[in-house]
Amino acid sequence: MFISESPIHINAEKGSIAEVVLMPGDPLRAKYIAENFLTDAVKVCDLRNMLGFTGFYKGVRVSVIGSGMGMPSMGIYAWELYHYFDVKKIIRIGTCGVVSPEVLVPELILATSSYSESIFAYTFDNYEGHRTYPSKELNEKIIACAKDLNYKLHIGDITTMDVFGPYIDYDRVLNRIPKDVKPIGEEMEAFALFHIAKHFNREASCLLTAVDSKFSDVVLSGEEREKSLNDMITLALEAIL
């Protein structure tokens, strides 16, 4: 096994990344969070335009760094954050599609597990399962904060896909999922994040905003999308206090 002495994909200085990291998929959303939610935020990495910032939220040091799209990209950045920068907690904050009529656009979802047909984990360390799990303790903090903020939060299984759900016949995939898995949302990164976190014995959670649904024709306006994403960001930040 070859492991470089320094990170290959994150050009940050040692000590410049906080122990807690929020990870949106979009690096420009990381910039948005730094500019609108954090104080004294400074850019700490920008290699390949994967922007990362470190600042303070209500006095607590926090970093926000993009993960890119898909499990390979998430796997790279999560691995380097845990291994090289000794990050303790990562909260993925992203968007997802809805696969349950119980969830409305643009409500929030907290993943209790991720089911995937991917061989990401098998390739990584021969894990043959198709389900990975977040940190129970971190999830409990997020749930408690959602109650304090009076945010509606759906809690349940999600699926992590190798293919963007709206571009395929997703019902075909759903019909193959074991009956004990009852997904309410689908996205593309959480399975890898949870597995990498377990490998390092660190914490990870996944908060999602529902932005499209097979059960609804609702299309969010720009203002509605921003408001729903702001609620998700606020909830993740409050959970780290």
Mean pLDDT value of segment 50-57: 98
Domain locations in the chain? Answer: 20-239
Predicted pLDDT at 150: 98
Q: Which residues contact 171 (CB under 8 A, 6 or more apart)?
A: none
Mean pLDDT value of segment 129-147: 98
Phi first, then psi: give them for residue 6, nearest 5 degrees. -135, 155
* Superfamily the domain 20-239 falls into: Nucleoside phosphorylase domain (3.40.50.1580)
Q: How many residues does the chain have?
A: 241
Mean pLDDT value of segment 72-101: 97
Catalytic residue among 26, 46, 162, 212: 212
Q: Which residues contact 9 (CB under 8 A, 6 or more apart)?
A: 47, 48, 50, 76, 77, 80
How wide is the angle at C-alpha 226 spanned by C-alphas 232 and 167, nearest 5°? 85
212 is catalytic: yes
Mean pLDDT value of segment 10-32: 96
Q: Where in 71-118 does DSSP place strands (E)?
A: 89-98, 108-115
Q: What is the pLDDT of residues 213-227, one digit of tens each?
A: 888 888 777 677 777
**What's the rounded Cα separation, in Å, for the pair 90 and 82?**
9
Mean pLDDT value of segment 158-180: 92
Mean pLDDT value of segment 107-136: 98
